[in-house]
């Protein structure tokens, strides 16, 4: 089995997409400038949702917030990614698990903690999640999506994890976003993160339904991941299907949809 970064480079080599000019990039994003300029300091105060994260002690939160930037891989460094604007989508997210994901510099306000990361083993499976938060998201506005992604990252860092736990996130509009770099193991299924790509479908699917756009994107993501990383049949899971997971994720309204997608794509 080849390492995930080799499989990704091979996928990027065949990735066909229209080049993205700086002007079109700025017009397409809701941020106005690279790096989430629209997220003002007032909106940067992100509280951890009580539904999912079990808020840690204040001292630990403060330590996570004050963690100085650490050396990160090229895909996690805003300056290197920003310099690639205009070079095409495949260069915008070189460490995303799929080359068509929106790059993390559009939302992330901090780099991963490298000392806590483990190299990703050859990819063998993928797990689908929902966020399970009581604070529901209904919008697909890029600014709101970016803020929620940052909330995930801050919540996961406060739990002592290196970065956001998921590798890919699908928002309510069906747009795919880069989470953790594919170079590193995720943090999304306890005891089963080795070689396991974490895909989050944004929302709480015990309380709301996935959108048609999300389901279409999820199907494409699963097809592309299996093709890119050479996954065998029967290796697409939901969180609740792991024997030791003990969770209702990805929710009662997404679980049957994942089962149908798996059947339709022979996964």
pLDDT in tens, 136-193: 999 999 999 999 999 999 999 999 999 999 999 999 999 999 999 999 999 999 999 9
Q: What is the pLDDT of residues 99-130, one digit of tens each?
A: 999 999 999 999 999 999 999 989 999 999 99
Superfamily of domain 4-265: Peptidoglycan recognition protein-like (3.40.80.10)
Calculate ∠ Cα 218-267-258, nearest 5°.
Answer: 40
What is the C-alpha to C-alpha distance for residues 176 and 137, in angstroms, rounded to an integer?
A: 16
> Following DSSP, what letter does each residue of 65-101 receive, concatenated?
HTPPP----GGG-HHHHHHTTTS-HHHH-TTSSSTTS
Closest alpha carbon to 221 in 184, 140, 180, 167: 167
Q: How far apart are CA 165 and CA 161, in angstroms?
A: 8
The per-residue pLDDT for range 20-76, each reduced to its tens digit, is 333 343 333 333 322 322 222 222 233 333 223 333 344 443 443 333 333 222 223
pTM over 0.85: no
């Amino acid at each position: 089995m080849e390492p995930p970064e080799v499989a990704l480079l091979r996928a990027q080599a065949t990735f066909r997409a229209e080049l993205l000019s700086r002007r079109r990039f700025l017009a397409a994003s809701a941020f106005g400038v690279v790096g989430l300029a629209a997220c003002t300091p007032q909106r940067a105060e992100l509280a951890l949702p009580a539904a999912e994260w079990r808020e840690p002690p204040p001292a630990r939160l403060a330590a996570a917030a004050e963690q100085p930037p650490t050396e990160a891989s090229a895909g996690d460094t805003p300056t290197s990614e920003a310099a690639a604007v205009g070079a095409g989508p495949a260069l915008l997210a070189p460490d995303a698990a799929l080359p068509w994901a929106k790059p993390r510099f559009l939302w992330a306000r901090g780099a991963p903690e490298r000392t806590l990361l483990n190299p990703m083993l050859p990819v063998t499976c993928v797990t689908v999640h929902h966020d399970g938060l009581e604070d529901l998201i209904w919008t697909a506005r890029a600014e709101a999506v970016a803020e929620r992604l940052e909330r995930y990252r801050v919540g996961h860092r406060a739990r002592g994890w290196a970065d956001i736990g998921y590798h890919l996130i699908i928002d309510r509009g069906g747009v795919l976003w880069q989470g953790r770099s594919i170079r590193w193991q995720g943090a999304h299924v306890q005891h089963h993160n080795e070689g396991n790509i974490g895909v989050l479908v944004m929302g709480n699917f015990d309380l709301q339904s996935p959108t048609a756009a999300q389901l279409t994107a999820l199907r494409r993501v699963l097809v592309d991941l299996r093709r890119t990383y050479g996954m065998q049949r029967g290796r697409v899971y939901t969180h609740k299907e792991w024997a030791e997971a003990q969770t209702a994720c990805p929710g009662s309204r997404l679980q049957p949809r994942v089962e149908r997608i798996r059947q339709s794509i022979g996964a």
